[in-house]
Structure 1
């Protein structure tokens, strides 16, 4: 069997009513003639949207097929034992040229009961933000079911929501149950559990091209919402040059930001997991026992668990990437 190597996938593009063109202008992606490209699914094991390998001898095979063949060598033994052939993360870029609906996701327990699916805990890294762009995460005051419903029925739900001004490099961790929304002008990298279960709470009374408002999931959302309040929803971290800095760690994924302007040696012997790189800035070369692979700005690549020692070499200037794995 041929040895594994850093694997790239063909992005799966999704048109959205709120989408724009920054997948092309900032992330250098060719999504054809899609009028409003809202999402690029970089690595997906979601049924109906399975990623297909674009490089190397595995090109043309989909993610499920290569997990079936390589099992723990690809995803890590402990990951394979837990998830089998289902890839546990969905990796996306989201371009919001208009406000996204206010949403909440159910946790594993509720999602299993209702949908026989995993819940959705996720995180956002702001890769681009126009002046005045906002991110909603959580409530701006203590809220209970009663005053939430009153605000909702009075059309004043947004008065209860916490908004942060979005700036490049901002990180928001969105555990299942937290009310959230990406605001107009934000380009984000999203890392989430493999789940497509979303409860839409409010959509600003928007109508589609047929004059229909999008479906809301008011009752379903009520049981999913975590009404707890925090004074701070934005993750705090300080990036360090030529080091990996942890920005989010939870049972579902760990994400580091890595900025480097010289060659870095990476040793993954201890983690027993695949690793994903999402390139936020610059271009670099991955050098491993299987050869080398160049990765450009906006590209995402999967490092198989069997590649435990690799080197990252910047092509010119500084590189910034997100490094994602499961502890």
Structure 2
């Protein structure tokens, strides 16, 4: 019996992190004990595969669904990345403490672990405490030699560009950009489906096992884009109901922010699946065959063949897809 396409919701894979907390409970998510820094909401990565929690496909991992339905459900551009995995990884992040200062490689970096891709990503700030900030790039005129020298002298923080943040800020972080979320921030992250991170600096603090976490100095110095990889930022709070604002665009993902007040119709295309991240509010997601209540913190994968759908209620939504070639 064939199954008609429907919006898929997944059981999140929760990750304990030294910098995590309990803030994701505010979205109604069930957290295991400990400092939970990451909720992998939609993932087809060996380090955390999410399973469908609604409808006829309940219990199946995203990897199984993708292999079973291929481009029919995931689109001609969204069926798989070059490494054969689902193209994107969707996370919610609770930064109760500062993350390590880090950088991600590009797809063509020769030191990539087997099966991994590079990692271009973007952040949407869901909430930020007063005075919250992030690290976003290096200061001007910084090169590998100067950065290496600063590290030898214990002056890494003097080389970094700090940016104050507030809810509604969006940051595009191409591979090669030095970055770190800092304490007091809760964010949604849309990224290439990769788990490769090179730590440049970690505040000399112990990890969950009580030992200093590994740094990746040589890899970091090699993959940093010293003359800017194309990082960009914007505040997105001025959009009105019914508007869709592009907040990140790359060859890997297109992310738009929309404000729903009442109802709005849209449709998927044969090119790509659509992922909806509910950033604020609550409402209803409807399609030809049914409906699903939605609320802040929930994420849905809409198959490319779903067709027309409607969002109604009072919602702030991030809409993600894979762009055509």
Using the TM superposition, name which of 162-171 and 74-83 deviates more. 74-83
Closer, same or farther: CA 41–232 of 1 in aligned 2, 3 Å? closer
8 Å CA contact 1:104–1:225 kept in 2: the answer is: yes
CA distance in 2, matches of 1:48, 1:189: 19
Residue aligning to 1:69: 68
Residue aligning to 2:118: 119
Higher strand share: 2
Asked if 1:224 corresponds to 2:209, the answer is no
8 Å CA contact 1:137–1:233 kept in 2: the answer is: no
8 Å CA contact 1:139–1:230 kept in 2: the answer is: no
| CA positional deviation for 1:268 | 2.8
Residue aligning to 2:276: 277
CA distance in 2, matches of 1:252, 1:67: 18
Residue aligning to 1:129: 128
| CA positional deviation for 1:308 | 2.1
Residue aligning to 2:262: 262
8 Å CA contact 1:138–1:233 kept in 2: the answer is: no
Closer, same or farther: CA 73–165 of 1 in aligned 2, 3 Å? same
8 Å CA contact 2:200–2:220 kept in 1: the answer is: yes
Q: TM-score, normalised by structure 2?
A: 0.94
Q: TM-score, normalised by structure 1?
A: 0.93
CA distance in 2, matches of 1:61, 1:231: 38
Closer, same or farther: CA 80–46 of 1 in aligned 2, 3 Å? same
Runs of at least 4 residues of structure 1 off by over 6 A?
A: none
Residue aligning to 2:251: 251
8 Å CA contact 2:277–2:300 kept in 1: the answer is: yes
CA distance in 1, matches of 2:138, 2:232: 9
Residue aligning to 1:190: 189
Deviations 1:25-80 (A, max 9, x none): 2x221113x22111000000111411100001110011111112211122102322
Residue aligning to 2:40: 41
RMSD: 1.9
Residue-pair matches, total: 321
Which structure 1 segments of 5+ residues have no match?
none
8 Å CA contact 1:278–1:299 kept in 2: the answer is: yes
CA distance in 1, matches of 2:107, 2:84: 18
Closer, same or farther: CA 89–112 of 1 in aligned 2, 3 Å? farther
Q: How does 1:101-250 map to 2 (within 5 A)?
A: 101-110=100-109, 114-208=113-207, 210-229=209-228, 233-235=232-234, 237=236, 238-250=238-250
8 Å CA contact 2:174–2:229 kept in 1: the answer is: no
CA distance in 1, matches of 2:296, 2:303: 20
Residue aligning to 2:96: 97
CA distance in 1, matches of 2:308, 2:122: 27
| CA positional deviation for 1:152 | 1.2
8 Å CA contact 1:139–1:179 kept in 2: the answer is: yes
